[in-house]
A and B are shown apart, each in its own frame.
Chain A
Amino acid sequence: MADDSKLGVYICKDCGLDESLNLEDLEKTAKGEMRAPICKIHPFLCSSEGVQVIKDDIKNEGVNKIVIAACSPRVNTDVFDFDQLLYVTERVNLREQVIWQQPAKDDKTQAMARDYVRMGIVKANKSEVPIPNKPDIDRTILVIGGGVTGLTAALEVAAAGYKAVIVEKSPALGGWAIKSYKSFPTKPPFDKLVKPTVDTKVKTAESNANIKIHLNSTIAKIEGEPGMYDVTVNKSGTEEVFRIGAIILATGWKPYDASPLSAKYGYGRFKNVVTNVEMEDLASKGRIQRPSDGKNAQSVVFVQCAGQRDEANVPYCSSVCCNVSLKQAMYVREANPESGAYIIYKDMRTPGLYENFYKAAQDDAGIFLAKGEVRAIEEAPDGSLIVDVDNQLLGQDMKIKADVVVLATGMVSSMLPEGKAVNDLTPEYIGDWVVRKTQDGEIQELAPIPHIMNLAYRQGPEIPHLKYGFPDSHFICFPYETRRTGIYAAGAVRHPMDVQQSSTDAAGAALKAIQCLELTAQGKAVHPRAGDMTFPEFRLESCTQCRRCTVECPFGVLDEDEKGTPRAHPYRCRRCGVCMGACPQKIISFRNYSVDMISSMMKSVDVPSEGDEPFIIGLICENDAYPALDMAGLNKVHINPNFRFVSLRCLGGTNLVWIADALSKGVDGVILIGCKYGDNYQCHFVKGSQVASERLGKVQETLGRLMLESERVKQVQLAINEWNQLPKILDDFSELLKGFGPNPYKGF
């Protein structure tokens, strides 16, 4: 600790704190036991007078570490806002998490408040202000893909005053959208087909001085980090390298391979069975003619979900095919008023205002819709098709004679390499399992396939996918973010969507990319710790090259040198501390967050040497579990008073040392409360709570060494809105621990 640090503790009397707690006793703890040079009790700390007291002490007494014992750090952030580069500010949550949950003037309540004051002071003492790190950055944004998403993203970037570079692999801009004969309506009353508008976007982009376009180009390599990526573009064989600051991945979708549908629907066997993509081409002539003989089609059958929502092919719904088939049914009817268009669906899905479009199409007497299943398609000698339908709404089997059958084949992400099926992908990184011979025997290893981005990242050349080849991101809170800081996915590469949604998506991703550039330039983290100016620091002299940090980092921050020593790209970092939790050597820390800090906080707690009730430390995630605990307080829900909670940036930052430290201090148990993990994870850092659970799997060894029961450590998954379950979760754990009796290390 630097000598020039001076701590001031400020205790608020308001909001019932004075009525519930003995504040003088807390002042005594701060000044006496914790040796705080300054401790003041103020009747109304968040008033301008209250804040002035702190400011005066900063000015006159040289206070630079401020501990505010009052309300939750989640409120009054604008009031207690002291320059983070000059002052350490720590908030002790006596209101939401003590007095609003506990009986007033009670010994246990007072003991709890004392412990939180102790931990707050320790945390402030162990924290240092960050050292600013503001890089020179390039403010150009690379847009990969020149379809409707890419064009919109580039135009949005340019409109915001930044430069954009579009890299498009095909010879022309416009993507799939420009190949459409007509589009479904995007404006009220949503009843008529409209001309595609993407050509306007193409022209605007081509004439915009801030947008540079590379056609016939692919990405050969991307290295670097936000604000300073070096991109190698391969333009018809010649390579060009340039620097950019952030990336928007807008490579869109591709139709899935319909050849597995040959047996059931005759695709590839019968000339008049086409996909909906091929139908756009057929319709572009203004007439619908049978591919087999050019005869005008009288009857066209649309088979919805062809191969979709089917575990054997594409397990998900592409969300646009219903609208596309309604649109194409209108093509059929427009081209020939005597014709009939039949749509056989599993469910009609026309989300939002497209319901009106569905109604408009239904109103046409020649468009026939029914829920049913197409059992088989046969070809008559004249090339007509007989579609065998189990019409579930009519409750009968029927055969429909069709000139053309259109299969509503859906969309797969362009992140899928050639020859890979969505239902058969390796987890996290798309690739192949390979067997590698090592001195310890054969090991199976995942070899990721370079495809679009060719990132020079230790963790793989492409961004991780969650499922079916769609990029992994925190779907609810941060839809555009990928697991590579500075790289934002938009449009149908992210999940199936139409032109309208893709355009909205593109604008969102463009703003995210710009935000990333500006925060990086200020040396600040992007979401979810936006504004954090600390960076991870590595004491590399103690590194044993175990590679846990480089493997576990959810964001691919760390590359490795030949020996396996981590090499950080700090601007890729989101400050979650997962690496800190991973490191058995404890070499990774932040200036205001470290293994030693949390250990010291736990050690400062006054563990009762006797008593019937188990005494428990809770390590809780600051994103969901901590607010949930606050909410329990807001709702005046009583929480077991024998718990002391320590807030972590992410449960993934849990270092097993802490559990050993807590248990050897005599604590009866440790509970970890973090976000839900798995397919529908809620972790703000993607894998934090999952990583924590994997690490806990290894804690048995530690417990065994201490001769303790493994049940004394437990992880719980909690969503932010599940605060009302907290009392039961905590009481149940306490009950469980009673069965094991007190920790034998108590009192040592």
Chain B
Amino acid sequence: MGAERHSTVLTPDVGFVKGLIGSGADNLKRCYQCATCSVVCDLTPQDNPFPRKEMIMAQWGLKEALSKDPDIWLCHNCNDCTKYCPRGARPGDVIAALRKSAIAENAFPKFMGKLIGSPALTIIALAVPVVLFLIILSTGGYLQIPEGQVVFDKFFPIHYVDPIFITVATLVLVSFVVSVRKFWNRLNVEPYKLLAYGQFMPSFIETLKEIVAHAKFGKCGANKDRTTAHRLVLFGFIGLFITTNWAVFYLYVFSWASPYSIEADKIPSVFGGSQAMAAMAYGAFKIFGNVSALLLLIGGIMVISNRMKDRGFVSKTSSFDWTFAVIILLLVITGILSEMLRLSNLPIAYPMYFAHLVFVFYIIAYLPFSKLAHMVYRTTAITYSKMAKRDIM
């Protein structure tokens, strides 16, 4: 049963409250604790439910207590609470702001959390890859638009691209390991402190199943159509992730350099020398990549249009959310345009590709600090909640 009572000398963090107010929870202080939000929420556990308690903790600036709270990640921002809140305190937005603050709080290195967490600094975040790429290209003597057939490798050689992104991905991994450790240690305190860790794998697998099935999302009332959009975006990303790794595999295992030419002597033994088999694998890879991009495009457009819809209740989207949604859309649009312009053999494909790489860098390098980090934090928190028998699904 619930929290053990403990007494501490209270030091509310007014700056924290103001920060939340600044990042979309501007009516947070309006809450008068009627708990309508917790009553209408389909995702909250019966015991010690959210978001009622998160509202008062946020009002009182209890940053420390909130950072230990796994419940903000059980919330899927359905906004049923916001719809029914009699005071317009918008609990859904408050919880969203709390998640944003948790991402920044657990970020490693910390300044990156601040950089990505502040929409005003987005331009700097985007300038980093631009400058980096320009330096790399100019030192290699590539800083020009190549003549003849459009081949991206001539403009930004793949043996530059891969080391950059493999390095970035490694750093991201390291950052996540540090952050998630910190996050886990924060969660793993009373009242839910885990004594046995034996349940990890089953809980983790259960969590992944739930994410793929969008089971929690499916319970949303007020914001139901977000489920489809999120599903498309998620599967688009997974598809593109697979495609990218597939390309790496071609390059380093099959030694197929882009643009792919499937010459007889380069057909790997798995295809048994059959050129037709190799061509089919190649075709499948292309179709898979393009379909994934389309899923992401459609999903991204749906996310934006959902946010713009008038729902009859006020739900504010923070500029943090907007920045991120727009960058995803730009990422997929520049990607598709790069492909189309390349196929049309127009030299403008090169700057488009450059822009695309900048957005790819943004999404991958800033993953632990952007909204996309929720995929790691949420997975961790839901797994933890399942282990702590707190999750109701």
Residues of A near any B CB (own CB < 8 A) = 340, 348, 358-359, 362-371, 386, 388, 393-401
Contacts A362-B30, A370-B56, A393-B33; is A398 near B10 (CB within 8 Å)?
A: yes
B32 in contact with A348 (CB, 8 Å): yes
B53 in contact with A399 (CB, 8 Å): no
A394 in contact with B57 (CB, 8 Å): yes
Contacts A393-B56, A395-B53; is A366 near B5 (CB within 8 Å)?
A: no
- Residues of A contacting B2 in the complex (Cβ-Cβ under 8 angstroms): 395
- Residues of B contacting A364 in the complex (Cβ-Cβ under 8 angstroms): 29
Looking at B14-22, B141-149, B201-209, B375-383, the stretch in contact with chain A turns out to be: B14-22
- Residues of B contacting A358 in the complex (Cβ-Cβ under 8 angstroms): 32
Shortest Cβ distance from A363 into B: residue: B29
User: CA separation between A398 and B31, bound complex, in Å?
Assistant: 21
Contacts A362-B30, A369-B59; is A395 near B3 (CB within 8 Å)?
A: yes
Contacts A359-B30, A395-B53; is A386 near B9 (CB within 8 Å)?
A: yes
Tell me how far the C-beta of A476 lies from the nearest C-beta in chain B, rounded to whole angstroms: 29
Shortest Cβ distance from B2 into A: residue: A395
Most buried by A among B5, B18, B29, B33: B29
- Residues of B contacting A340 in the complex (Cβ-Cβ under 8 angstroms): 12, 14
B5 in contact with A365 (CB, 8 Å): no
A399 in contact with B5 (CB, 8 Å): no
- Residues of A contacting B139 in the complex (Cβ-Cβ under 8 angstroms): none
Considering only residues 29-60 of chain B, those with a C-beta below 8 Å from chain A are 29-33, 48, 53, 56-57, 59-60
- Residues of A contacting B18 in the complex (Cβ-Cβ under 8 angstroms): 365
Shortest Cβ distance from A337 into B: residue: B14
- Residues of B contacting A399 in the complex (Cβ-Cβ under 8 angstroms): 7-10
- Residues of A contacting B21 in the complex (Cβ-Cβ under 8 angstroms): 365
**Does B87 interact with chain A (Cβ within 8 Å)?**
yes
Tell me how far the C-beta of A183 lies from the nearest C-beta in chain B, rounded to whole angstroms: 23
- Residues of B contacting A393 in the complex (Cβ-Cβ under 8 angstroms): 33, 53, 56
Tell me how far the C-beta of B296 lies from the nearest C-beta in chain A, rounded to whole angstroms: 39
B59 in contact with A396 (CB, 8 Å): no
Shortest Cβ distance from A388 into B: residue: B7
Tell me how far the C-beta of B24 lies from the nearest C-beta in chain A, rounded to whole angstroms: 15
- 12 interchain pairs, CB-CB under 8 A: A340-B12, A358-B32, A362-B32, A368-B59, A368-B61, A388-B7, A393-B53, A395-B2, A396-B3, A396-B5, A398-B9, A401-B9
User: CA separation between A388 and B5, bound complex, in Å?
Assistant: 13
- Residues of A contacting B32 in the complex (Cβ-Cβ under 8 angstroms): 348, 358, 362, 369
User: CA separation between A486 and B56, bound complex, in Å?
Assistant: 52
B30 in contact with A363 (CB, 8 Å): yes
**Does B309 interact with chain A (Cβ within 8 Å)?**
no
Contacts A348-B32, A394-B60; is A366 near B14 (CB within 8 Å)?
A: yes
Tell me how far the C-beta of B159 lies from the nearest C-beta in chain A, rounded to whole angstroms: 53
The A contact surface, by secondary structure, is: strand
User: CA separation between A368 and B56, bound complex, in Å?
Assistant: 9
Tell me how far the C-beta of B20 lies from the nearest C-beta in chain A, rounded to whole angstroms: 9
Most buried by A among B17, B18, B32, B61: B32
User: CA separation between A393 and B48, bound complex, in Å?
Assistant: 11
Measured as residues with beta carbon below 8 angstroms from the partner, the interface class of chain B is 20 to 34
User: CA separation between A365 and B60, bound complex, in Å?
Assistant: 9
Shortest Cβ distance from B16 into A: residue: A365
A396 in contact with B87 (CB, 8 Å): no
A368 in contact with B8 (CB, 8 Å): no
Contacts A368-B59, A370-B56; is A400 near B33 (CB within 8 Å)?
A: no
Shortest Cβ distance from A386 into B: residue: B9
B6 in contact with A397 (CB, 8 Å): yes
User: CA separation between A371 and B33, bound complex, in Å?
Assistant: 9
- Residues of B contacting A400 in the complex (Cβ-Cβ under 8 angstroms): 9-10
User: CA separation between A366 and B87, bound complex, in Å?
Assistant: 19
Q: Which of B7, B29, B56 contacts A365 (CB 8 A)?
A: B29
User: CA separation between A395 and B1, bound complex, in Å?
Assistant: 12
Shortest Cβ distance from A350 into B: residue: B32
B17 in contact with A365 (CB, 8 Å): yes
Tell me how far the C-beta of A394 lies from the nearest C-beta in chain B, rounded to whole angstroms: 6
User: CA separation between A371 and B27, bound complex, in Å?
Assistant: 19
Taken residue by residue from 205 to 248, chain B's Cβ proximity to chain A (1 for < 8 Å, 0 otherwise) reads as 00000000000000000000000000000000000000000000
A368 in contact with B30 (CB, 8 Å): no
User: CA separation between A398 and B6, bound complex, in Å?
Assistant: 7
A368 in contact with B12 (CB, 8 Å): yes
Shortest Cβ distance from A394 into B: residue: B56
B30 in contact with A396 (CB, 8 Å): no
- Residues of B contacting A367 in the complex (Cβ-Cβ under 8 angstroms): 29
- Residues of B contacting A362 in the complex (Cβ-Cβ under 8 angstroms): 29-32
User: CA separation between A397 and B10, bound complex, in Å?
Assistant: 10
Q: Which of A359, A369, A397 contacts B5 (CB 8 A)?
A: A397
User: CA separation between A33 and B6, bound complex, in Å?
Assistant: 89
- Residues of A contacting B14 in the complex (Cβ-Cβ under 8 angstroms): 340, 365-366
A396 in contact with B6 (CB, 8 Å): yes
- Residues of B contacting A366 in the complex (Cβ-Cβ under 8 angstroms): 14
B7 in contact with A398 (CB, 8 Å): yes
User: CA separation between A370 and B29, bound complex, in Å?
Assistant: 11
Q: Which of A348, A365, A394 contacts B53 (CB 8 A)?
A: A394
User: CA separation between A400 and B12, bound complex, in Å?
Assistant: 10
Shortest Cβ distance from B9 into A: residue: A399
A395 in contact with B29 (CB, 8 Å): no
- Residues of A contacting B9 in the complex (Cβ-Cβ under 8 angstroms): 386, 398-401
- Residues of A contacting B8 in the complex (Cβ-Cβ under 8 angstroms): 398-399
User: CA separation between A366 and B27, bound complex, in Å?
Assistant: 14
Tell me how far the C-beta of A298 lies from the nearest C-beta in chain B, rounded to whole angstroms: 11
- Residues of B contacting A395 in the complex (Cβ-Cβ under 8 angstroms): 2-3, 5, 48, 53
Tell me how far the C-beta of A392 lies from the nearest C-beta in chain B, rounded to whole angstroms: 9
- Residues of A contacting B5 in the complex (Cβ-Cβ under 8 angstroms): 395-397
- Residues of A contacting B29 in the complex (Cβ-Cβ under 8 angstroms): 362-365, 367
Tell me how far the C-beta of A366 lies from the nearest C-beta in chain B, rounded to whole angstroms: 6
Shortest Cβ distance from B87 into A: residue: A359
Shortest Cβ distance from A365 into B: residue: B17
Tell me how far the C-beta of B230 lies from the nearest C-beta in chain A, rounded to whole angstroms: 32
Shortest Cβ distance from B27 into A: residue: A363
User: CA separation between A645 and B338, bound complex, in Å?
Assistant: 98
Shortest Cβ distance from B4 into A: residue: A396
Shortest Cβ distance from B15 into A: residue: A365
Tell me how far the C-beta of A485 lies from the nearest C-beta in chain B, rounded to whole angstroms: 45
Shortest Cβ distance from B35 into A: residue: A393
- Residues of B contacting A369 in the complex (Cβ-Cβ under 8 angstroms): 32, 59
Shortest Cβ distance from A370 into B: residue: B56
User: CA separation between A399 and B7, bound complex, in Å?
Assistant: 6
Tell me how far the C-beta of B41 lies from the nearest C-beta in chain A, rounded to whole angstroms: 17
- Residues of A contacting B57 in the complex (Cβ-Cβ under 8 angstroms): 394
User: CA separation between A650 and B164, bound complex, in Å?
Assistant: 98
B17 in contact with A396 (CB, 8 Å): no
Tell me how far the C-beta of B108 lies from the nearest C-beta in chain A, rounded to whole angstroms: 29
Taken residue by residue from 54 to 94, chain B's Cβ proximity to chain A (1 for < 8 Å, 0 otherwise) reads as 00110111100000000000000000000000010000000
User: CA separation between A364 and B18, bound complex, in Å?
Assistant: 10
Shortest Cβ distance from B191 into A: residue: A395
User: CA separation between A258 and B48, bound complex, in Å?
Assistant: 37
- Residues of B contacting A370 in the complex (Cβ-Cβ under 8 angstroms): 33, 56, 60
User: CA separation between A366 and B17, bound complex, in Å?
Assistant: 9
- Residues of A contacting B30 in the complex (Cβ-Cβ under 8 angstroms): 359, 362-363
User: CA separation between A248 and B123, bound complex, in Å?
Assistant: 72
A396 in contact with B7 (CB, 8 Å): yes
User: CA separation between A393 and B35, bound complex, in Å?
Assistant: 10
5 smallest CB-CB distances across A and B, nearest first, come from A397-B7, A365-B17, A399-B9, A362-B29, A393-B56
Shortest Cβ distance from B88 into A: residue: A359
- Residues of A contacting B33 in the complex (Cβ-Cβ under 8 angstroms): 370-371, 393
- Residues of A contacting B53 in the complex (Cβ-Cβ under 8 angstroms): 393-395
Shortest Cβ distance from A393 into B: residue: B56
Tell me how far the C-beta of B184 lies from the nearest C-beta in chain A, rounded to whole angstroms: 23
User: CA separation between A396 and B8, bound complex, in Å?
Assistant: 9
- Residues of A contacting B12 in the complex (Cβ-Cβ under 8 angstroms): 340, 368
Tell me how far the C-beta of B35 lies from the nearest C-beta in chain A, rounded to whole angstroms: 9
User: CA separation between A394 and B9, bound complex, in Å?
Assistant: 14
- Residues of A contacting B59 in the complex (Cβ-Cβ under 8 angstroms): 368-369
